[in-house]
Chains A and B, each alone.
Chain A
Amino acid sequence: MSILSLLLASAAFFLLGLATEAHHRRRFGACPQAARCKMLRTGGWLSLVVSVAPALLARGWIFGPILWAGAIMAGAGIAFLALNFVPARAMRDPEIPSPSVSASSRLCNGLACRCGASI
């Protein structure tokens, strides 16, 4: 159960990280579209909230929240290291249809990306 909590927390931060412009471009070769970005973020937050449950189930009301705090820190650490140190694929992600890529690229080049504008 505590492993499940950790996995959910890692997934949450991984999704949230991918929703930022820099990482999305690095991983998928394109700036995220607003809709996709929103999806990633919602998924991330949802996963983060859901990760409370297994922690509470595993350790109860006193140690559960402590476990959860540990899980989100460890999960954030794992996601951070994975996003920054695992080499990115050079190719663009085949799942994204090309129009959206070009559209979002244009958006990126023109204006600041709407979500996660970190530059």
Chain B
Amino acid sequence: MSKGFRQSQAFLHTWSGLLLGWILFLVFVAGTIAFWREGLNRWMRPEIARVEQPMRVLAGSQAFLARKAPDAKSWIIPVATERSPGAQVFWVPQPKPGEEHGRRGRRGRGDTQALIGADGQVAQARETRGGDFFYRFHFDLHYMPVIWARWLVGFATMMMLVAIVSGIVTHKKIFKDFFTLRRAKGQRSWLDGHNATAVLALPFHLMITYTGLVTLMTLLMPWAVVANYNDQNTVFATLFPTASVVERTGRPAPLIDLRLIAADAERRLAAPASFIEVSDPGDAAARVSVSQSASSMLSSRTPRLTYDGVTGLLVWRSPPPGVAAETAGAMIGLHAGRFAGNGGRWLYFLCGIAGTLMVASGLVLWTVKRRERLPDPTRPHLGFRLVERLNVAVIGGLPLGITCFFWANRLLPVALRGRADWEMHMLFIAWAAAALMAFVVRPACVWPSLFAVTGVLLVALPMYDVVATDRGLFASLAIGDLMIAGIDAAILVFGIAFLLLARRVAHHRPVAKRVRRARTATASRVPEAAE
């Protein structure tokens, strides 16, 4: 009975892990990188100086918006921090009579936003999505409608949860064999590596998968909302309460200095502010809302304060959220790790790498396990070949694509139209090329060549930064900018890891008595660089 149950769980584990494993790999890679979203936002705009005085940026933002959009419907100003490249401000113009109210199209988006740099002036930076790309890629994928992508990622996450739980049941010895790593033992090594990355970070894996589902819960399970609310506006009003809207008076009145409001809000909240929203600036009915930064609390549902924009008096304070909303907020906060300082970020990052390795080693394990049982190893059946090639295409190809994305950020001409889009296109072009190669050439050749190219490109990147930008590794270290220096150093380390891996895979000779086990002995190494 118990054996039958475990076997059924093994079946479930294998197939739930395999079928969506490639999407999970992508989600894990993008999500892991996205923990350094703010750092990459800066790293990918090397022209921009580090923010030393956030209040100066805020004053500059206000001055800029007052010039640029004095009669806007609203301004949205993120409060700059040391981590951010500046303040990416944007404004919503007054709706023209007859135009649909509250429409938020992407149309003309570039005209209603600007990046205010550390000196309070509009920064002239290259056009890039920066680290935000990885954040969106993590759950919205790319080149497809967002809703489909979220369903796909949501489904993959569900499968991940199934794979984790069934994996615990299947490999019940994982806890006993916790400390065991048998190297150079073929399938055994793969399994040990898979187990180690899974069990060492098991609390993280369970947490990140479950809370990942929570972030998508209103999409995946809308019934509770549908059953209790008639329209979306009521739901939003309940979940994200705001101060009552004031009608525009038409009487001009000067807006108070936003620095005063930010300082007052930070004192009242006893925490840093993250966003300032000004409605009807320059009007007597102006309102200023300040949201608390998510870096200061676990829940992502941060409190808000609303001030009178002319007198600067506090007029509204967000009520404490309900228990369920608070729980969901805490789970989303736990998932995104925005509360974490640099040490915490590193932990999240390392756990993310462990998760990536777990998925990658699981995918490769599928082929390793079946290779020996093939009736004719020189001519494997179609399904086997498909999985084998897809593994090369995704595990080998995606890191190369991401590397090319970083290079595109450095090399594409600043004046290029749609530059930010082309950076992303480069990722997918490189990835597609790698995938094509994976399906045409023998895997034993493609694995090491993809890893080697990725490694060389990654190692060259920090060197290029030293030569061609003002923010090379040494320059960043000299001014104590550890975030940028850390990213350069991490890229270097990953590059070296990829090179070592390529060498190991290339030099490996299959064990004589077993037929075609080209990659098995490198088992515990391959996924290490999969990040």
Task: Determine, out of B116-124, B175-183, B365-373, B414-422, the stretch whose residues face the partner at the interface.
Answer: B175-183
Contact pattern, A 58-100, Cβ under 8 Å of B = 1, otherwise 0: 0000110011011011101101100110000000000000000
Q: Check A118–B351 contact: CB distance below 8 A.
A: no
State the Cβ distance, B189 to closest chain A Cβ, in Å: 11
Report if A80-B200 is in contact (Cβ < 8 Å); known contacts: A20-B180, A63-B339, A116-B176: yes
Q: A80 contacts B181, CB within 8 Å? A: yes
A74 engages B350 (CB within 8 Å): yes
Task: Give Cα A116 to B465, complex, Å.
Answer: 51
Q: Is A80 a contact of B203 with CB atoms below 8 Å? A: no
Q: How far is the CA of A116 from the CA of B176 in the complex (A)?
A: 7
A13 to B179, CA, bound (A): 9
User: Is B286 an interface position by the 8 A CB rule?
Assistant: no
B524's nearest neighbour on chain A, judged by CB, is A84
Is the C-beta of A2 less than 8 angstroms from some C-beta in chain B? yes
Bound Cα distance A74, B200 (Å): 8
Shortest Cβ distance from residue A59 to the other chain B in the assembled complex, whole angstroms: 10
Contact with B along A1-19 (1 / 0, CB 8 A): 0100000000001001100
B207: A residues at CB distance < 8 A: 69
How many whole Å from A7's CB to the nearest CB in chain B?
Answer: 14
Contact A63 B200 (CB under 8 A): no
Query: Is B298 an interface residue when CB atoms closer than 8 A count as contact?
Result: yes
Asked if residues B176 and A70 are in contact (CB atoms below 8 Å), the reply is no
A16 CB to nearest B CB, Å: 7
A63 — which chain B residues lie within 8 A by C-beta?
298, 339
Q: Are A76 and B343 in contact (CB under 8 A)?
A: no
CA of A72 to CA of B203 in the docked complex: distance in angstroms? 9
Residue pair A84, B351 in contact (C-beta under 8 Å): no
Assess the B298–A62 pair: CB atoms within 8 A: yes
Judge whether B258 is part of the interface by a CB distance below 8 angstroms. no
CB distance from B95 to the nearest CB of A (A): 42
Q: A76-B200, A80-B196 are known contacts. Are A16 and B179 too (CB-CB below 8 A)?
A: yes
* Closest Cβ–Cβ distance, residue B193 to chain A (whole Å): 11
Q: Is the CB of B203 within 8 A of A73?
A: yes
Assembly CA distance A16 to B177 (angstroms): 11
Residues from chain A with a CB closer than 8 A to the CB of B146 are none
B347 sits at the interface (CB 8 A): yes
What residue of chain B has the Cβ atom nearest to residue A14's Cβ? B179
The yes or no answer to B27 lying at the interface (CB within 8 A) is no
Q: How far is the CB of A73 from chain B (nearest CB, A)?
A: 5
A83: chain B residues at CB < 8 Å are 179
Grouping DSSP codes into helix (H, G, I), strand (E, B) and loop, the B interface class, with mixed when no group exceeds half, is helix
Within 8 A of B (CB), among A41-72: 62-63, 66-67, 69-70, 72
A106 to B344, CA, bound (A): 47
Query: Chain A's nearest CB lies how many Å from the CB of B214?
Result: 16
Residues in chain A near residue B298, CB distance under 8 A: 62-63, 66
- Counting CB contacts under 8 A, is B240 at the interface? no
By beta carbon, the residue of chain B nearest A68 is B203
Query: What A residues does B199 contact at CB under 8 A?
Result: 76
The answer to whether B334 touches A73 (Cβ under 8 A) is no
Tell me if A20 and B201 are in contact (CB < 8 A).
no
Tell me which of B183, B200, B334, B339 contacts A77 (CB under 8 A).
Answer: B200
Given A63-B339, A76-B200: A84 touches B179 (CB 8 Å cut-off): yes
Q: Contacts of A80 on B, CB cut-off 8 Å?
A: 178-179, 181, 196, 200
Known contacts A63-B339, A73-B201, A73-B204; is-contact A79 B179 (Cβ 8 Å): yes
> Contact at B350–A20, with CB atoms within 8 Å?
no
**Which residues of the partner chain B approach A118 to less than 8 Å between Cβ atoms?**
173, 176-177, 180
Residues of the A chain whose Cβ atoms lie less than 8 Å from the Cβ of B334: 66
B179 touches A20 (CB 8 A): yes
Contact partner of B179 (CB less than 8 A), chosen from A17, A62, A66, A73, is: A17
Q: Which residues of A contact B343 (CB under 8 A)?
A: 2
- Minimum CB–CB distance for A14 against chain B, Å: 9
Complex alpha-carbon distance, A92 and B203, angstroms: 36
**How far in angstroms is the closest Cβ of chain A from B355?**
11
Closest to A69 in B: B203
Q: Which of chain B's residues 165-189 have a Cβ closer than 8 Å to chain A?
A: 173, 176-181, 183
* A-B residue pairs in contact (CB < 8 Å), sample of 17: A2-B343, A17-B178, A17-B179, A62-B298, A63-B339, A67-B344, A69-B204, A70-B347, A73-B200, A73-B203, A73-B204, A74-B350, A77-B201, A80-B181, A80-B200, A116-B176, A118-B177
Listed from nearest, the 6 A-B pairs whose CB atoms lie closest are: A17-B179, A84-B181, A70-B347, A69-B203, A77-B200, A76-B200
Known pairs A69-B203, A70-B347, A74-B347. 10 more at Cβ < 8 A?
A17-B178, A20-B178, A20-B180, A63-B298, A72-B203, A80-B178, A80-B181, A80-B196, A80-B200, A118-B173
- Residues of A at the B interface (CB closer than 8 Å) are 2, 13, 16-17, 20, 22-23, 62-63, 66-67, 69-70, 72-74, 76-77, 79-80, 83-84, 116, 118
